[in-house]
Every structure is written in structure tokens, then in C-alpha cells.
Amino acid sequence: MTTPEVPYRIELAVEVPGTPEQVWDALATAAGISSWFLPTDVDEREGGAIVVHMGETDSPGTITGWDPPSRFAYEEPGWAAMSGQPDAVVSPLVSEFLVEAQSGGTCVVRVVSSAFGTGADWEREVIDEMERYWMPYFEHQLRLYLGHFAGQRATTMELSVDVPGRPEAVNAAIERALEVTEVGQTVDVVGLTGRVERQGSPYLVLSVTEPVPGYVSLFATGTGAGTPDEPMASANVQAWLFGDDAPAYVDEAAPAWRSWLDGLAVSDTTRAATR
């Protein structure tokens, strides 16, 4: 049998506002991590279960490190199966979060995710895509959560619509539809008023203030459907909204968001985005 000996590693560090206890709550509790990252179930103890929900796909794992408020670790054995490689010979994906207090009321969060594989092309592609899509969550959503909503629990909204085109073309269509030109500008979309916090692939991130506060991420991913000449992409919105009025907004606005995403049906190169 082939032995998984080729190392893969994702490593990042981000300084965020908050005490170690606030940062721990955001990273290592189900309600906290679900308020800025993906919906996640956490049995808050060493040996407990963790399940990260990614749309229609779940990634179950086991908590291997639990040392509040400084170290949280878990392993996910199914990353190859989720990538369409159920028979691949790879080690579990191990993720470790370290929280280090700094002067001035901030903490540095260090995140390392690692696994061993056989060096197959698909393994590197999966790890590279994981890093590309993970980093903005920590660099933007986690900072926004701890800076404005620490300890609060978000009402979330996740919607996806398949549209023709490559992901990069759909991401460009999203920015054109909102007339985004730079970070810091104000935009309005589906009844929300927000500030552009991040521009560019793979995510457009908005911090919103009216009528409910929170943050919204808009992005496109490939679906694997279509043909090389006529590919399909998935246009997505993820929102984390706070306050008593957030559930009502999500219930009422979800159909309008679907319509807005569907209106982004663009050609792969030149089709203009429409609202």
C-alpha cells in the first residue's frame, strides 16, 4: 500500500480585537464560530465531535486539543472523500488554533492545517483552494465579528444559484452589479446598506449597517457542470446578521437575494451583469 508521506500545510496568523476569552468563544464554540465562519456543530471538549457544514456537504471530525482559552485542535478524516477521492490514501486533515494575547486589547490567532498525501495533483489543488477560500474568513469576518459583535449570535443566510460562466467571470459580474470600484465605498444591495471591506477574488465582503448590522460575503465557485466552452458556476451569498430584526430580514429577503443572484447570469467573458 502507498504510504502518505507528502506533507501539505496551510498556515496563517491574524491579529484581532478582543480578549483571549472572547477570541476562544469565537473559535471554539458552536455559536461563536457559526457567527463568522461556516455553520459548525461543536461538542466542546477534548474527544468531542465537530461537524463543519458546507452547503450540502458535511465534514465530521474529532476534537483533539481543548485548552481554553489558548489552544483548540481537531482532525477531519474525510477531506479526500469530500473532494471526490473516497479511496485516496491520505492522513486526516488536522487543524490547530492558537490564541496569544497582545498588549492593547488584541490577540494573535495562529492557524495551522496539515495533512499527508501521496503527491497527487488533486491533493495540492484541494489544499490550495482550501487556503484561498479560508483566509478571507479569518482576515475579514473574524475581525469584523470580534470588533463589533463579540459574544453575540448571528442569524445566518446561505444561498446559491447556478449561472453560466467561469467563477472569475461571475465574481466580476457581482462587482459590476454593485458598481464596486474600491474598498471603503458604500453600496446598497437587496435592502442592505454596507461598506466594501474586501474586493477581489474569491470574495467580496461587505460590512452592513442598515436595516440590520452584520456582514455579507458574495463569491462564485465552480460546479464541475457544463462543458469547457460553456462552464457553470455557483453564485453565492453568505450573510451573518445581528439583532432582533435579523431573522425577519432573512425570511423576507431570501427570495429577493435569489432573484439578484439569478440576474447575474453572464457570459464567460463579456456578458454584463444585471440587477
Domain assignment of residue 273, yes or no: no
Q: Domain check: are 137 and 14 in the same one? A: yes
Q: Given a cut of 70, is residue 265 above it in pLDDT?
A: no
Q: Given a cut of 70, is residue 275 above it in pLDDT?
A: no
Q: Domain check: are 79 and 205 in the same one? A: no
Q: Domain check: are 144 and 168 in the same one? A: no
**CB neighbours of residue 103 within 10 Å:** 5
Neighbouring residues of 263: CB distance < 8 A, sequence distance ≥ 6: 177, 273, 274, 275
Q: Domain check: are 28 and 140 in the same one? A: yes
Q: Given a cut of 90, is residue 2 above it in pLDDT?
A: no
Domain assignment of residue 66, yes or no: yes
- Interval 172-210: pLDDT, tens: 999 999 999 999 999 999 999 999 999 988 899 999 999
DSSP 263: T
Q: Domain check: are 137 and 180 in the same one? A: no
Q: Domain check: are 211 and 127 in the same one? A: no
CATH code assigned at 101: 3.30.530.20
Q: Given a cut of 80, is residue 272 above it in pLDDT?
A: no
Q: Domain check: are 139 and 214 in the same one? A: no
Mean pLDDT of the chain: 91
Q: Given a cut of 70, is residue 262 above it in pLDDT?
A: yes
Q: Domain check: are 86 and 128 in the same one? A: yes
Can you give the three-state secondary structure of 137-176, one letter per residue? HHHHHHHHHHHHCCCCCCEEEEEEEEEECCHHHHHHHHHH
Q: Domain check: are 142 and 161 in the same one? A: no
Residue 112 domain boundaries? 6-148
Q: Given a cut of 70, is residue 274 above it in pLDDT?
A: no
